Amino acid sequence: MNHPGEKSFIWLGPTPRMYIRDPELIKEILLRPDEFQKPHPEPFRDSIVRGLLVTEGDKWIKHRKIINPAFNLQNLKIMFSAIRLSCSDMIHKWELLTAGSGPTEVDVWPYIDNLAGDVISRTAFGSSYEEGQKIFRIQKEQIDLIFQMLFILHLPGRRFIPTQANKKFNENIKELRSVLMGIINKRKRAIDIGEDKHEDLLGILLESNKKEIEEHGVGMSMEDVIEECKLFYVANARMANASSRRDCSSSR
């Protein structure tokens, strides 16, 4: 890898990739999306998540408009109680572990590792957060499986190669889609009959999408919504897996 100041590049097989840290250059790139397009295909990314992360052009503009209300400041403030509840639950578990009379050593990493996933599950899916935690666990496992399959990731038809990791990866894709469809359909029905308060990311997203369809005739499809729900988790899952790998390396 080359490190010329604020820019660096690395070769991924025959493909060069440049990493930029200069805020002014990053701003310039983001303001010119037609000239600086997202890489296609990107096997690692596309195997885990799509959605707004890979969408381009008019579709990106529409999806960004629909998703944006879920992340405005007022709606994020509503989610503070869910964040506080996740933190309180974690601290309560620590209090139970240290309730004895003598000093107690606690490995806090597993709890920290799960905290962000619990927060995302509560803020994204509200009352369905237990299913959300299942999604988080599957996404983490998918990323771990991707690392196991790096040697076949760029091969054409790699998903048909019958390795154990590949088989489990494809099973997880089906399970993930099934769980998300169940949550989304349940919430859509609640919105249609007026029983949903739209106080989590999914509720706000579905209500915004419904409004877009009513006003303009076209919104996000079920597959689009599923991909955006997966995107809620992917950054945290990647970070957690990277940290776990560093811990394993240091322990060896």
Q: Which of 12-26, 58-72, 84-98 has the highest mean pLDDT?
A: 84-98
Structural element, H or E, at residue 12: strand 7-12
Look at the chain and count its residues. Answer: 252
| pLDDT of 245 higher than 70 | no
pTM: 0.71
Distance CA 103, CA 24 (A): 51
pLDDT digits (tens, 9 = 90+) for 158-205: 767 788 888 898 899 999 999 999 989 988 888 888 877 777 888 889
How far CA 167 is from CA of 135, 159, 180, 216, in Å, comes to 18, 8, 20, 41
Tokens encoding 238: 């990647």
| pLDDT of 30 higher than 50 | yes
Q: Does residue 41 contact residue 34 with C-beta atoms inside 8 Å?
A: no
Please give the CATH topology (third level) of the domain spanning 40-251: Cytochrome p450 (1.10.630)
Q: Does residue 237 contact residue 118 with C-beta atoms inside 8 Å?
A: no
Q: Amino acid identity of 152?
A: I
Q: How confident is the model at residue 247 (pLDDT cuts 50, 70, 90)?
A: very low
Please, what is the average pLDDT of the chain? Answer: 79
Distance CA 240, CA 236 (A): 6
Long-range Cβ contact pairs of 147-154 (< 8 A, separation 24 or more)? 147/241, 147/245, 153/43, 153/44, 153/47, 154/13, 154/43
Q: How confident is the model at residue 62 (pLDDT cuts 50, 70, 90)?
A: confident
Across residues 146-163, what is the average pLDDT?
Answer: 76
Across residues 93-114, what is the average pLDDT?
Answer: 86
Tokens encoding 82: 């869910």
| pLDDT of 67 higher than 80 | yes
Say what the pLDDT of residue 174 is.
92
Tokens encoding 230: 């997966």
Which residues of the chain form CATH 1.10.630.10? Answer: 40-251
Distance CA 152, CA 49 (A): 18
Say what the pLDDT of residue 41 is.
66
Q: Helices (H) and strands (E) in the chain — how many of each?
A: 10, 2
pLDDT digits (tens, 9 = 90+) for 104-137: 888 888 888 788 888 888 888 887 778 888 888 8
3-class state of residue 193 by DSSP: coil
3-class state of residue 11 by DSSP: strand
Across residues 223-233, what is the average pLDDT?
Answer: 84
